[in-house]
Chains A and B, each alone.
Chain A
Amino acid sequence: MDTTVTTGTAKESVWGGGNQPLGASYGKMMMWFFIVSDALTFSGFLASYGFSRFKFIETWPIADEVFTHVPFFHGNYPMIYVAFMTFILIMSSVTMVLAVDAGHKMKQNAVIWYMFLTIIGGAIFLGSQAWEWATFIKGDYGAVETNGGRILQFVNAETGERAALADFAKILPSERAHHERKNGVWFYEEGYKPSFSLDEVREGFLANPNILIRTEAIVQEGEREGHKTLLTREQSLEKIKDAKLVVEGANLIRNEYGSRLFADFFFFITGFHGFHVFSGVVINVIIFFNVILGTYERRGHYEMVEKVGLYWHFVDLVWVFVFTFFYLV
């Protein structure tokens, strides 16, 4: 932008400062410095995700079976909602770049509107991500964990569909002693408790001959290649003996979808990305008010919009990679 700070003129000496060999102002350069270093951070995260995944390549959860929900709709719709989130983010990137373009032309009102739409897009994305997390944490079918920390899921042999614990668990009347504050010197609130005890799941499993166990292992060859291994009823009866714990939903320690690292990386990477989106929205809001107040009109240029725009596009760029490596591959 020739209207911004100084551009290198023939009179200046090369070492005297003031010239811009890369044709970018100080602020823009610093934004690029930050983006490059942040890109390396995200590469590190995604590469370590790849490390863990290649390490457990035969047992890693299949994303299509995990992220299958769409708000307000029942049923199995893999990918649809994430695709929607991707589209929202790309769309808000477009309104951002339109705001930058309007800024170059010094159209204050257009910048205001485009910034506003960008912020709305960011807010929709954040809401979607919160919903995605809530669904992931809540879980849908439930599973049991073995002594070795492997997850066993259940399948209805008649329909071939996954069976939820509630479908077959037998309610056993039992007394549970509650630890109360008055009885303990050190009292901790009761933590995570599944809706069925292990005995209830096991009894229900033994009583329902059409429930089979599905293990984490992905079939490597044959007709069912690429699907999780489904045990026969005899094998299942043998396998249920290893069960140690009922797992519902996901937390940082264990999750019903399979490998523990899967949920850890999900929380960590999408969380870190979501934090970037959040801070992007906050910065966008600040710039938005500055535009309304006419700060950049008085300054004579809208380079600030361009800088926050770079950050916002970077967040979109990261999501493109997260989308591929978490949901597609």
Chain B
Amino acid sequence: MAHAHKLEIFRGLLKFKSNTQKIWGVLIFLSIVTAIEVVLGIYKPRVLTHSYFLGMKLLNWIFIILTLVKAYYIAWDFMHLRDEKTSLRRAIVWVPVFLASYLVFILLFEADYVYTVYRDGFIKWNF
């Protein structure tokens, strides 16, 4: 059966002998990432909750980046996008990535505007 698996992750930093081994390796990596998220979520270090980047707390940036990292490894190794043809992989990944980022950008921008209307406008909502 000509079924080639690409057996390395982290751009070749970590090589595995078999596909099964790679799966367990990815599991360990995903568990570590989740553990980091949970620990940060429980302790919420003051350094990270009180510094901002582009209007969002650093802690939240870390959470979102770690989420994307996890999503990458789930898609690449569990859904074996790593072994698919480049054209198929790009079609699958970039369509939702582009559309979702556009939607998120435009909705959050609008929501922020609505928030300022609630804050500065002459609407009484807290009574």
Residues of A participating in the B interface, judged by any CB pair closer than 8 Å: 1-3, 21-24, 32, 35-36, 39-40, 43-44, 47-48, 50-58, 64, 78-80, 83, 86-87, 90-91, 93-94, 96-98, 100-101, 104-105, 146-148, 150, 225-226, 242, 309-310, 313-314, 316-317, 320-321, 323-324, 327-329
How long is the Cα–Cα vector from A313 to B26 in the complex, in angstroms? 13
With A3-B1, A98-B20, A320-B70: A55-B126 Cβ-Cβ less than 8 Å: no
**A320 — which chain B residues lie within 8 A by C-beta?**
67, 70-71, 74
**B119 — which chain A residues lie within 8 A by C-beta?**
58
How long is the Cα–Cα vector from A323 to B20 in the complex, in angstroms? 27
Across the interface, name the chain A residue whose C-beta is closest to B127: A148
At the interface, yes or no: B110 with Cβ under 8 Å from chain A?
yes
Establish whether residues B115 and A94, one from each chain, have CB atoms under 8 Å apart when the complex forms: no
How long is the Cα–Cα vector from A39 to B99 in the complex, in angstroms? 10
Establish whether residues B88 and A48, one from each chain, have CB atoms under 8 Å apart when the complex forms: no
Q: How far is the CB of A230 from chain B (nearest CB, A)?
A: 16
With A21-B87, A90-B34: A43-B1 Cβ-Cβ less than 8 Å: no
| Interface residues of B, count at CB 8 A | 57
How long is the Cα–Cα vector from A242 to B112 in the complex, in angstroms? 28
How long is the Cα–Cα vector from A150 to B60 in the complex, in angstroms? 26
The 8 closest A-B pairs by CB, nearest first: A54-B111, A43-B100, A22-B88, A148-B127, A324-B67, A23-B85, A83-B38, A51-B107
With A47-B107, A90-B34, A320-B74: A40-B126 Cβ-Cβ less than 8 Å: no
How long is the Cα–Cα vector from A273 to B77 in the complex, in angstroms? 22
Establish whether residues B118 and A36, one from each chain, have CB atoms under 8 Å apart when the complex forms: no
**B50 — which chain A residues lie within 8 A by C-beta?**
225
Establish whether residues B3 and A1, one from each chain, have CB atoms under 8 Å apart when the complex forms: yes
Across the interface, name the chain B residue whose C-beta is closest to A91: B27
Establish whether residues A57 and B1, one from each chain, have CB atoms under 8 Å apart when the complex forms: no
Across the interface, name the chain B residue whose C-beta is closest to A31: B79
**B70 — which chain A residues lie within 8 A by C-beta?**
320
Q: How far is the CB of A198 from chain B (nearest CB, A)?
A: 17
Establish whether residues B115 and A87, one from each chain, have CB atoms under 8 Å apart when the complex forms: no
At the interface, yes or no: B7 with Cβ under 8 Å from chain A?
no
A and B contact pairs by CB, cutoff 8 A, 21 listed = A36-B96, A40-B99, A50-B104, A51-B110, A54-B112, A55-B114, A56-B115, A56-B118, A78-B41, A79-B38, A87-B31, A90-B31, A93-B78, A94-B23, A94-B27, A98-B23, A101-B20, A148-B127, A150-B125, A313-B78, A321-B67
**A55 — which chain B residues lie within 8 A by C-beta?**
111, 114-115, 118
Residues of B participating in the A interface, judged by any CB pair closer than 8 Å: 1-3, 19-20, 23-24, 26-27, 30-31, 34-35, 37-38, 41-42, 49-50, 60, 63-64, 66-67, 70-71, 74-75, 77-80, 84-85, 87-88, 91-92, 95-96, 99-100, 103-104, 107-108, 110-112, 114-115, 118-119, 124-127
With A226-B49, A324-B64: A87-B34 Cβ-Cβ less than 8 Å: yes
Establish whether residues A52 and B100, one from each chain, have CB atoms under 8 Å apart when the complex forms: no
Across the interface, name the chain B residue whose C-beta is closest to A317: B74
How long is the Cα–Cα vector from A48 to B50 in the complex, in angstroms? 26
Establish whether residues B108 and A317, one from each chain, have CB atoms under 8 Å apart when the complex forms: no
With A101-B20, A328-B63: A316-B104 Cβ-Cβ less than 8 Å: no
**A58 — which chain B residues lie within 8 A by C-beta?**
115, 119
How long is the Cα–Cα vector from A112 to B127 in the complex, in angstroms? 61
How long is the Cα–Cα vector from A225 to B96 in the complex, in angstroms? 36
**B110 — which chain A residues lie within 8 A by C-beta?**
51
Across the interface, name the chain B residue whose C-beta is closest to A310: B79
**Pick the contact of A43 from B41, B104, B118, B124 — CB < 8 Å?**
B104
Q: How far is the CB of A234 from chain B (nearest CB, A)?
A: 18
**Pick the contact of A148 from B27, B104, B125 — CB < 8 Å?**
B125
Known: A32-B88, A226-B49, A328-B41. 15 other contacts (CB 8 A): A1-B1, A39-B100, A51-B107, A54-B111, A58-B115, A64-B42, A83-B35, A90-B34, A146-B126, A148-B126, A148-B127, A313-B79, A314-B79, A320-B67, A320-B71
